[in-house]
Amino acid sequence: MSHTVRNVLVVNAGSSSLKFMLFDMSQERMLAKGQVERIGIGDALFTFSTEGFSEKQTPCEAPNHAAAIRLACDALTAPAKGGCLKSFADIDAVGHRIVHGGEKYSKPVRLDEHALKEIEKLSPLAPLHNPGALQGIRGCEQVLPGVPHVAVFDTAFHQTMPEESYLYALPRELHDKLGVRKYGFHGTSHRFVTERAAEILGKPSDQVNLVTCHLGNGSSITAVKGGKCFDTSMGMTPLAGVVMGTRSGDVDPAIAFYLMKNGYSADDVDALFNKQGGVKALCGSSDMRDVCSACEAGNRDAQVALARLVHSYAMYVGGYVALLGRTDAIILTGGIGENSWETRQAFLKALSGLGITLDEAANRATRGVEATISGKDSAIPVIVVPTNEELMIARETFTILNP
């Protein structure tokens, strides 16, 4: 059945939250956005904004995900709230963010019962994420039946990695039977900035070699070869790779056995590495705004945390530049990459061995906008490119329905 797609609703559901954004894809324009928090917990909160209207954290009733998406659709069609849409029928498609697509999904998929079962089977690989997203899909299907629903996977962009990138040096049967391998995450963001960087550089996207750095609360760095993922810093789970807000990033795995022989349970170690690690463990805050102002005030722990953070970034960038052979640009994105000039300054200084230089004034002036922050004499240009994962999901949803 052909279906003209114009308005795409992008949904990012977790077990107790649902974020949404509506796009008019005829102009790639965002019409509205919002979120429902504390779904199924009680004291739920609704936030919504369109051009000329905004409400923040208003109490609402959201016992389940269907109720949450109904609140979203009611707001989208309410004349008093900006009236983006006349009726629910004006929503032409829904694009869902799904964290884990395993080895099964290297592209988005139009959802049907079979695809939903496959995503459910992948839940053990992303127990904190896939079940919530599935609840979101089921809720949306109840409220918007007959509308095409598309799943866009965070892992999909990384499925082009060759074996030498994704295989761990462990017995093959762990991969074959249990799916133990590197998957990588933030793929939608890495793809978005790759496409935009190709435009900025004036090259076809299948010819660019980049190191894309998504630096936020969770961070990952990807080597992009010929527009495709060649390697990425996150692993089988988002714990691996660079130092993050509360995740340790790479550690000697034997630390886990050591701690478990000293009375820690597997869950304790999991919480320690995922929630009590990273810059938070080193200096008490996971937010780079706090860390950078503490550095400025002379706090030694914060200074060490920042140094350790950029050290871990530089190790990946250096390795990827070596693997790529030719690197057209290093791209910085995510909350830290787009906004934290102090972190970027320290990062680029840590890359000076690669002949990378910093344009201090351009770096200080750049916040949330596209800009080149490396010096004219830099061996590799370093460009800030704000990411837009929701728009990428809307684009992928649009493209799969309008092949």
How many Å apart are CA 385 and CA 369, to the nearest integer? 7
- The region of 266-274, 319-327, 331-339, 373-381 touching ligand AMP under the rule CB under 6 A is 331-339
Among 95, 136, 216, 386, binds ligand AMP (CB under 6 A): 216
Among 335, 345, 383, 391, binds ligand AMP (CB under 6 A): 335
Closer by beta carbon to ligand AMP, 102 or else 245: 245
Tokens encoding 273? 């590495």
Question: Site residues for ligand AMP, window 282-301 (CB under 6 A)?
Answer: 287-289
Rounded least distance, CB 366 to ligand AMP, Å: 11
What dihedral do alpha carbons 244, 247, 250, 256 form, nearest 10°? 170
Q: Where are the beta strands (DSSP E) in 154-250?
A: 210-215, 219-225, 228-232
Rounded least distance, CB 288 to ligand AMP, Å: 4
Q: Binders of ligand AMP: how many residues, by CB under 6 A?
A: 11
The residue sitting closest to ligand AMP, measured at its beta carbon, is 335
Give the CA distances from residue 302 to residues 219, 279, 281, 288, 341, in Å, rounded to whole numbers and listed in that order: 19, 8, 10, 10, 16
Provide the annotated active-site residues: 154
User: Taking Cα atoms as reference points, which of 52, 53, 51, 179 lies closest to residue 105?
Assistant: 179
Among 15, 47, 64, 217, binds ligand AMP (CB under 6 A): 217
Closer by beta carbon to ligand AMP, 293 or else 399: 293
Rounded least distance, CB 153 to ligand AMP, Å: 19
User: Taking Cα atoms as reference points, which of 84, 86, 104 lies closest to residue 153?
Assistant: 104
Among 194, 248, 339, 357, binds ligand AMP (CB under 6 A): 339
Among 13, 336, 350, 394, binds ligand AMP (CB under 6 A): 336
Q: Does residue 241 belong to the site contacting ligand AMP (CB under 6 A)? A: no
Rounded least distance, CB 149 to ligand AMP, Å: 26
Question: Site residues for ligand AMP, window 63-92 (CB under 6 A)?
Answer: none
Among 14, 108, 132, 334, binds ligand AMP (CB under 6 A): 334
What dihedral do alpha carbons 158, 161, 165, 166 form, nearest 10°? 60
Rounded least distance, CB 286 to ligand AMP, Å: 6
How many Å apart are CA 319 and CA 304, to the nearest integer? 23
Task: Confirm if 183 and 158 have CB atoms less than 8 A apart.
Answer: yes
Phi-psi region of 306 (alpha: psi -120 to 50; beta: other; left: phi over 0): alpha
Q: What is the DSSP letter of 374?
A: B
Among 184, 245, 249, 386, binds ligand AMP (CB under 6 A): 245
Rounded least distance, CB 214 to ligand AMP, Å: 8
Q: In what order do the strands lie in the sheet with 109-110?
A: 53-60, 44-50, 29-37, 17-24, 7-13, 93-98, 149-153, 109-110
- The region of 88-96, 203-211, 307-315, 336-344 touching ligand AMP under the rule CB under 6 A is 336-344
Q: Which residues contact 205 (CB under 8 A, 6 or more apart)?
A: 194, 195, 198, 227
Cα 289 to the chain's mean position, in Å? Answer: 20
Q: In what order do the strands lie in the sheet with 228-232?
A: 228-232, 219-225, 210-215, 329-333, 382-384, 371-372
Closer by beta carbon to ligand AMP, 82 or else 386: 386
Closer by beta carbon to ligand AMP, 359 or else 389: 389
Binding site for ligand AMP (CB under 6 A): 216-217, 245, 287-289, 334-336, 339-340
